């Protein structure tokens, strides 16, 4: 009875509040058949880039389209292959600047095992023909969970999880070999000609397969990710790139989630000048929570977190500023009556921590095949994208806008 009441309460709240200031309107999607793994990116001009993967047999194809003045551009094929590593949580991306796509990434399998693959980065300067690998260790290990963001007019920052130290330790499924052979977090600044200008080790021990997030701030960059300590505490951490170097990593909030495995549920980050917001999922004390926290000093310190979920979250969070003092946080909340279903929901929160509005973008399958739904800014509002996998024969990428 309690679960039924909470489910009805959630439905009422979502339906009532989403119509007071915004309404969720489905928007045409530029993707084709059997499309999934959408990713959104909004550039400095407000142009939105949507990338996705279309599958046909063993071949995966990476496409993107840009949205400006409510019109999608004709989808452009960046690359395709039958030897990519394509995963529900570790999937390609495209970033843009000045209204144009500038870089894309995907994961290329290499000989050595199921979880042996490299990060491939391509640029638009030569029509996506040239490809580089930002890591040079040449180990048959995992390299993925990439985040990219423009760094200047001619460079961009790439962040990835790097498994070079895991070689010989049991690989992806081993969590008992000690931190000397742990997954690492690394970065590189790459110019538009795909030349690596600088490379860095950010953290020598991180969670094996949780996504990363990177953002440019007023004076530098911040990356958010899930850390891994000697005691198997896997909380959300950040590191700041200031004055030409990455600072020592630190936790956003000490949840104390002890788990000797990877939950495959990374954080999200957004920035507006010196104001930064991080959203994340935690299962500390065996209680699932979606939280967010603000910083007013570019991540030097964070305020106490705000709990956002309705009691049964799956996580898969995203976050975006929609004004100078408002953000939107999205996540998936499992259906209380049918655990095979979930709601793609969001809340609007002021930088004072006040929850103002609540929204539901769509009902979804709760399975891993649904991937990670996305939100991004568009015209002082939000655009959302997600994979509809309700048809077992053909998935679709769907899009909605808050109007």
Q: What is the DSSP string of 96-124?
A: EETTEEEEEEEEEE-SSSTT-EEEEEEEG
Residue 285 three-state SS: helix
Show Cβ contacts of residue 308 under 8 Å, excluding neighbours closer than 6 positions.
279, 290, 291, 292, 329, 331, 347, 349, 355
Q: Are 102 and 95 in contact (CB under 8 A)?
A: yes
Residue 170: its pLDDT value, please?
58
For residue 180, name the pLDDT band (cuts at 50, 70, 90). confident
pLDDT at 20 exceeding the cut of 60? no
Domain containing residue 138: CATH number: 2.120.10.10
Give the angle 218-46-347 at the CA atoms, nearest 5°: 80
Show Cβ contacts of residue 270 under 8 Å, excluding neighbours closer than 6 positions.
215, 276, 277, 319, 320, 321, 327
Residue 259: its pLDDT value, please?
97
More confident residue, 403 or 312: 312
The mean per-residue pLDDT over the stretch 346-366 comes to 96
pLDDT at 204 exceeding the cut of 70? yes
Domains: count for the chain: 1
The residue segments making up the domain with residue 11 are 2-402
Tell me which H or E stretch contains 27. Answer: strand 24-27
What is the separation, in whole angstroms, between the first and last Cα of the chain?
Answer: 35
Show Cβ contacts of residue 5 under 8 Å, excluding neighbours closer than 6 positions.
none
User: What average pLDDT does the structure give for the chain?
Assistant: 93
For residue 17, name the pLDDT band (cuts at 50, 70, 90). very low
Residue 193's nearest CA partner among 113, 294, 103 is 103
266 token code pair:
């990374």
Can you give the pTM of this predicted structure? 0.92
pLDDT digits (tens, 9 = 90+) for 299-340: 999 999 999 999 999 999 999 999 999 999 999 999 989 999
Residue 225: its pLDDT value, please?
98
To which residue do tokens 């630190």 refer? 250
- The pLDDT > 70 percentage for the chain reads 92
Q: Provide, for the chain, the percentages of residues in helix, strand and coil under a 3-state DSSP scheme, each rounded to the nearest 5.
A: 10, 50, 40
């Amino acid at each position: 009875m309690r679960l039924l009441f909470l489910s009805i309460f959630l439905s009422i709240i979502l339906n009532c509040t989403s119509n007071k200031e915004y309404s969720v309107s489905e928007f045409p999607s530029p993707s084709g058949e059997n499309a999934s793994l959408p990713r959104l990116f909004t550039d400095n001009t407000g142009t939105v880039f949507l990338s996705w993967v279309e599958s046909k047999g063993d071949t995966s194809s990476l496409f993107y389209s840009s949205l400006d003045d409510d019109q999608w551009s004709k989808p452009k094929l960046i690359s395709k292959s039958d030897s990519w590593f394509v995963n529900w949580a570790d999937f390609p991306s495209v970033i843009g600047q000045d209204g144009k796509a500038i870089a894309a990434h995907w994961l290329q399998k290499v000989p050595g095992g199921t979880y042996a693959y490299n990060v491939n980065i391509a640029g638009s300067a030569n029509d996506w023909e040239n490809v580089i690998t930002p890591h040079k260790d040449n180990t048959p290990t995992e390299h993925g969970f990439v985040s990219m963001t423009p760094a200047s007019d001619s460079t961009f920052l790439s962040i990835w999880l790097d498994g070079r130290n895991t070689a010989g330790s049991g690989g992806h499924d081993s969590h008992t070999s000690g931190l000397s052979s742990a997954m690492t977090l690394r970065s590189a600044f790459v110019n538009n000609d795909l030349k690596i200008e600088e490379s860095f080790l950010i953290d020598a021990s991180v969670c094996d397969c949780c996504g990363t997030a990177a953002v440019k701030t007023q004076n530098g960059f911040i990356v958010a990710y899930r850390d891994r300590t000697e005691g198997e505490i896997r909380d959300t951490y950040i590191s700041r790139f200031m004055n030409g170097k990455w600072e020592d990593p630190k936790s956003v909030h000490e949840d104390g989630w002890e788990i000797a495995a990877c939950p495959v549920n990374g954080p999200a980050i957004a920035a507006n000048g010196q104001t930064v917001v991080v959203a994340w999922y935690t299962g500390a004390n065996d209680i699932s929570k979606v939280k967010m926290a603000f910083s007013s000093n570019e991540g030097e310190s964070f305020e106490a977190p705000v709990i956002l979920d309705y009691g049964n979250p799956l996580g898969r969070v995203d976050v975006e500023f929609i004004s100078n003092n408002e953000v939107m946080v999205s996540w998936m909340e499992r259906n209380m009556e049918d655990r095979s279903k979930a709601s793609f929901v969001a809340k609007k929160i002021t930088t004072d921590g006040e929850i103002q509005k609540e929204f539901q973008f769509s009902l979804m399958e709760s399975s891993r095949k649904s991937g990670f739904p996305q939100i991004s800014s568009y015209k002082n509002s939000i655009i959302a994208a997600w994979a509809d996998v309700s048809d077992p024969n053909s998935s679709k990428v769907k899009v909605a806008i808050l109007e």
